[in-house]
Amino acid sequence: LMPGCGTCHQVKGFLERHHLPVELRWVTEAEHEAWVREHLVGAGRPLSLPYLLVGEEVLSGYDPAALRRSLARAGFQLRDTAAASAAADEADVVLPRPGLWVTNFLDGSLSFIDPRTGARLAPDLPLGADSNPVSLAQDPASGVVAISDMGRSCVAFVDGKTGRWLRGDREASSVATPKQPCDIVFDARRGRFYIPLVDAGRLAAFDSATGKPLHGDIATSSVEVGRNAGGLLLDPVADRILLRHGEGVLAVACAEFDGRGPEDRRTFACGPGRNMALDAKARRLYVPTFDGTVAYVDADSLDYAFGSAKASCVVVDRTPFTLEVDPSAGALLVSCMSNQTLHMLDAVAARRLPIGPRALPAAARTMCRLGDGVVAVSAFDENTVVFLDSRTGAPLDGEAGSSRAATGRGPRGLRPII
């Protein structure tokens, strides 16, 4: 970082993470130059800030979620020192929400969006005209981003710090799979990505640092789970992977990929459906079925949370498709494909919140929680991502942030950059 006593300095040539002692510097991008504004963070203790690069030279941003965590752990309080007034001196700086990766299924690209402004934080990354990216996940330690690509029947790997292919080019950075690689989850404890291979009926594991199959090839790095298994989640507390499977949910121990047999597998029968949501801390699993119900399930026992299906299920519209839970708001958001509506449920008790169903954009595909009070929804037919207040289901507006952002064609997978 260039030394000096002013409040604004030009920054170039950043190619990796840096430690900023004493001062935290807020980074913005104007034209092709990056500039910083000085902020006081308290004691002279260093903070490690992950930066995003545009091209080879220009620094364009940092990960605000990691910044918040660092500040909280260190007991720091962020205040704007550029303002001269006493009122501004006493007001905390409002940091942007985390950036958002978006897979664009129809034009084969990735977009990186600032949810606060709706602007691109970097140029879209083209994956190829034959690419149909579905889902993605990131290892925050290595920076590696895994992308499931149905068009090419592969898993592709990108360096999330630079937005470039992990191993130089597309072919070297891709691992061929059986047809329909689908959702992806990241296992921080073991440093792995788990990906269901729908047509083959297998669940594969990849090393998140190298982007390679865990044991060298797909055959030895995958386990049998049955055809059409998908909609997976990772339960870090129970150390197992949860998949929608046939008539319910299948739980696969992460240790199966280390040689343990399938004897520890569990199932929950509730009827066919797609996707789930999990509050790992509250130990609550939310399971929708195509007939229009959402079941509240105990995540440890994999049984109805309130003793019976009648007491543990809430009726919504037909074909509930995606769910997102925000524990801070005590809300469970459920999107229904039958009439493109959003339903607000109580995350604790099996009941609706006193908020009527809200209309969603055409072909709302996925939801992703970006932080307390904010959920992103991909609108496949409108080529946009819509940002909602998770407490009310209403679009964000005004100072709360942008209500929508343009994407590539056919946005599908959403993940915050960590």
pLDDT 10s digits, 179-231? 999 999 999 999 999 999 999 999 999 999 999 999 999 999 999 999 888 88
**DSSP code at position 373:** T
State both tokens at 90. Answer: 């006493």
- Look up residue 99 and give its DSSP letter: P
- Output the average pLDDT for the chain: 79
H or E element in which residue 158 lies? strand 154-159
**In angstroms, rounded to a whole number, what is the distance separating the alpha carbons of residues 234 and 244?**
12
Phi-psi region of 56 (alpha: psi -120 to 50; beta: other; left: phi over 0): alpha
Residue 315: beta bridge partners? 293
Amino acid at 164: R
Structure tokens at 72: 């909280």
Output the pLDDT for position 65: 54
pLDDT at 95: 27
Which among 382, 337, 333, 366 is positioned nearest to 103, based on CA atoms? 366
Alpha-carbon distance of 264 to 73, in angstroms, equals 37
Domains of the chain are: 8-90 (no CATH), 127-269 (2.130.10.10)
| Predicted pLDDT at 67 | 53
Per-residue b or e along 6-18, where b marks 16 or more CB atoms closer than 10 Å to that residue's CB: eeebebeebeeeb
Query: What are the b/e assignments for 214-223, b being 16+ CB within 10 Å?
Result: beeebeebbb
d(CA 391, CA 41): 31
Name the helix (H) or strand (E) containing 64. helix 64-74
List, for the chain, all residue ranges whose pLDDT scores fall below the cut of 50.
1-63, 77-97, 399-400
Residue 182 has phi, psi (to 5 degrees) of -120, -120
Sheet (strand 358-359) strand order: 320-326, 331-336, 341-346, 358-359
DSSP result, 247-261: TEEEEEEGGGGGT--
H/E element, 310: helix 309-312
**Amino acid identity for residue 82 in this structure:** A
- Asked whether 342 and 323 are in contact (CB, 8 A), the reply is no
Contact 395, 335 (CB under 8 A): no
